Amino acid sequence: MNKSQLVDRIAQQIEGGRSNATKAVDAVFDAIQEAVAGGEKVTITGFGVFERVERAARTGRNPATGEPVHVAASVVPKFRPGSEFKSSVSASGD
């Protein structure tokens, strides 16, 4: 499912049609991105947790040559699914 398909599915469930659904989806994504970029943890009970994780600098290996390569420190977003989300996904796989 892509963003357009998500908007269509939400538009079927709320009043105001596709334009209001697009605004709602954009508002949720913007709020999550701004909070995580600012170092906040976003917890949506039953769904999961979005957070910012700092990765330390390290030495990696070039897979073609095997030579050591310096990998710089970085900051990345991380998502951990909640228990209800995990249960829903594992139940649908049966």
Q: pLDDT tens digits for the chain (94 residues)?
A: 999 999 999 999 998 899 999 999 999 999 999 999 999 999 999 999 999 999 999 999 999 999 999 999 999 999 999 999 999 999 987 6
The two structure tokens encoding residue 70? 């310096």
> What pLDDT is attached to residue 92?
81
Q: Label residues 3-22 b or e (16+ Cβ within 10 Å = b).
A: eeeebeebbeeeeeeeeebb
Segments making up each domain of the chain, as ranges: 3-82
H/E element holding 53?
Answer: strand 48-55
Tell me, which fold does domain 3-82 have in CATH?
HU Protein; Chain A (4.10.520)
- What global pTM score does this model have? 0.80
Between the CA of residue 43 and those of 13, 28, 74, 77, 82, what are the distances in Å? 24, 13, 23, 13, 9
Q: What are phi and psi of 82, to 5 degrees?
A: -80, 170
